[in-house]
A and B are shown apart, each in its own frame.
Chain A
């Protein structure tokens, strides 16, 4: 009996079966393709806009040189290829999280819909093994889907930027992939728990989406909206012609306001994902050109937050008792 309990086979059997099911009905392929499309659109439009900026700069530079003036008065557009991934990362943080919710929902709802939960538990396995198998499948599908999306984006980035990506660039994209899998994995147990334990699975899906709205879109948006620089078109400091060091000085008088704004943002795991990935990819200007090591050290807090959220929800899914008699098709 102890062999049966300790053997990992029920976990891998359930995981393999769930992955086969998800691939067979092409659901995961369709939603991954949707994410891939959204992320590629973001990358390509970003690259086109940058080319437009470069063309405008070149034209302005040529005009200045033609009339005998120095071109130093106009700022050249900065080009860091990984920065073009900004829109794609934002699509992953929004649509990737939604896909994880759908995977969690389907993973639990499929057993309830087919009335197979009670049958599964007649087999010699522990209930945590059932949950672990489901979670492993979800994690595998997310990891595979995100690898496809980020791999495709890397290829498009290489082709569109016209320059070779370095090993350091590829390493940064790999780090982002790992953290993106962990970030989206936070949403899988959320909808899985709700769908497995609520009376109506469809209600569980809607509640999971309400949480998604709050965490992914509304909390970061509130923080962003309260940013004084976002209140005036072009930015309040730009309109007042205040230089960066003076901005910092003035904002010291608004420490409480900024703490509140930051606190609302910090409550969202999405904001931690965004801060981490924007730093690693150099999207945030202060991290552009900075080596990966110091960035990872500085961003450790965000990383810990993301991992603890995923682990906490995963542990909750494993710990909650499952009552198959109550969980028939609703």
Chain B
């Protein structure tokens, strides 16, 4: 009861409600959910096609008297059907989180209500706490919807039955996805509070996202941008040259898209043997650390926000 009436909770509830009322937030969230649904279908369709190709190839090899290798589909875990979901979390999930973070503080700044909030008996840290709780709630909601879609997909496909350990892994993947979205959401929240212009507040986290998604994997593993957003092609062996070894050591811990990619591949059982992350920090630990850092940045920006004016300059 005390929690429900606390100022931080009220700010969180009101902010989340207002952000959800925003058409763009709703549009991006709906797009994300639609793509998560598509990803489930894509995983199933592509795997079924490889299975059919194997049947044809096996018949062809037998006819020509060549040895028939094992069906590669048999090596695939049922969880890997969800591998495309990791791509959509990394693309539209992260972008939705940036927009949610930006809107959570941008709406207050544009509406000019910060001075009104400032005269209420609450501190700026209460305001910051409320905003971060609202962001966390909305991101958990997105992760929960994705999780429900994944569970329903497995229940609808009787041929694909994950065991108990795999259900836990699926829950872990949803947790890691929520962390990855939270990193960008917190940066969006922080820049939304710190930037003098609304556009800059949005463009800085988008640029960071572009850099982490398309430039860092190139430096750490020579992955071209289109390969970086394909769950299988993105897991290529590291080029065995001194440059890439050094780049992996230096940039690996900062390459969050790589960390998310490896954490997802490991949790969803599609990480090929012998392929390792370029970073010396384990992927999940790297994501946790990045979330804490992004949280500290958001906290710092929100607690420094001037409650006397707050509106954007442009």
Contact = CB atoms under 8 A, between A and B. Distances in A.
B218 A209 contact: no
Given A113-B314, A210-B27, A242-B57, A220 B210 contact: no
Interface string B217-244: 0110010111001111101000111011
B53 A228 contact: yes
A220 B226 contact: yes
Interface string A47-91: 011011101100000000000000000000000000000110011
A226 B46 CA distance: 5
Interface stretch (B7-15, B84-92, B256-264): B84-92
Interface string A16-29: 00000000000000
Interface in B229-286: 229-233, 235, 239-241, 243-244, 272, 275
A94 B50 contact: no
B214 A94 contact: yes
B47 A231 contact: yes
B60 A230 contact: no
Contacts of A206: 24, 27-28, 99
B215 interface: yes
Contacts of B28: 206, 210
A226 B45 contact: yes
A259 to B, nearest CB: 13
A217 B91 contact: yes
Contacts of A257: 49
Interface in A86-135: 86-87, 90-91, 94-95, 98, 102, 105, 109, 113
A209 B38 CA distance: 20
Given A49-B222, A113-B314, A225 B50 contact: no
A51 B224 contact: no
Given A221-B230, A230-B233, A52 B240 contact: yes
B69 A241 contact: yes
A48 B69 contact: no
Given A206-B24, A209-B95, A254-B49, A95 B87 contact: no
A179 to B, nearest CB: 18
A27 B299 CA distance: 28
A220 to B, nearest CB: 7
A242 B58 CA distance: 10
Interface residues of A, number: 61
A202 B195 CA distance: 15
B218 A250 contact: no
Given A86-B224, A230-B230, A49 B241 contact: yes
A99 to B, nearest CB: 11
Nearest to A94: B225
Interface in B32-53: 35, 38, 42, 45-47, 49-50, 52-53
Given A91-B225, A202-B198, A203-B23, A48 B243 contact: yes
A155 interface: no
A240 B230 contact: no
A10 B314 CA distance: 27
A241 B53 contact: no
Q: Which 10 A-B pairs have the closest CB atoms?
A: A52-B241, A233-B272, A49-B222, A90-B225, A206-B24, A87-B224, A49-B239, A232-B72, A231-B50, A45-B222
Interface of B: 23-24, 27-28, 31, 35, 38, 42, 45-47, 49-50, 52-54, 56-57, 60-61, 66, 69, 72, 84, 87-88, 91-92, 95, 99, 106, 198-199, 202-203, 206-207, 210-211, 214-215, 218-219, 222, 224-226, 229-233, 235, 239-241, 243-244, 272, 275, 314
